[in-house]
Amino acid sequence: MADEQLLHLVFGGELEDLEGVRFSDLDDLDIVGIFPSFAAAEAAWRQASQRTVDQAQMRYFIVHLHRLMDPDSDHSHND
């Protein structure tokens, strides 16, 4: 069997306030991409976060898509 794909989504946008995770404008979300591993997603997340470091309201997130696609699987390793 080929190596397991642990897909991750990286996206971000401007938050309404720094205390929550509600976005100011859903039409203006930045979808960075879908990545085959946490390491690749983290590298993309770091790059996107650094690009917007001067914008306090901007936040980027990593979503573990593989956990949503297969919630019953045990992905206890570094994903």
Work out the pLDDT band at 79, boundaries 50, 70, 90. Answer: low
Residue 62 lies in a domain: yes
**For 43-69, what is each residue's pLDDT tens digit?**
999 999 999 989 989 999 999 998 888
The pLDDT value recorded for residue 71 is 77
Span 4-21, mean pLDDT? 92
Residue with tokens 């976060």: 49
Average pLDDT of the chain? 89
Q: Give the Cα separation of 72 and 79 in Å (integer).
A: 15
Residue 75: pLDDT band with limits 50, 70, 90:
low
12-16: Cβ within 8 A, 24+ apart: 12/48, 12/49, 12/52, 12/58, 12/59, 12/60, 12/61, 13/58, 13/59, 14/55, 14/57, 14/58, 15/57, 15/58, 15/59, 16/57
In a domain, 65, yes or no: yes
Give how many domains the chain has, as a whole number: 1
Nearest in space to 34 (alpha carbons), one of 65, 57, 70:
65
Domain of 46: which CATH number?
3.30.70.2400
pLDDT at 70 over 90: no
23 lies in some domain: yes
Domain extent, residue 18, equals 8-69
Q: Does 5 have pLDDT greater than 90?
A: no
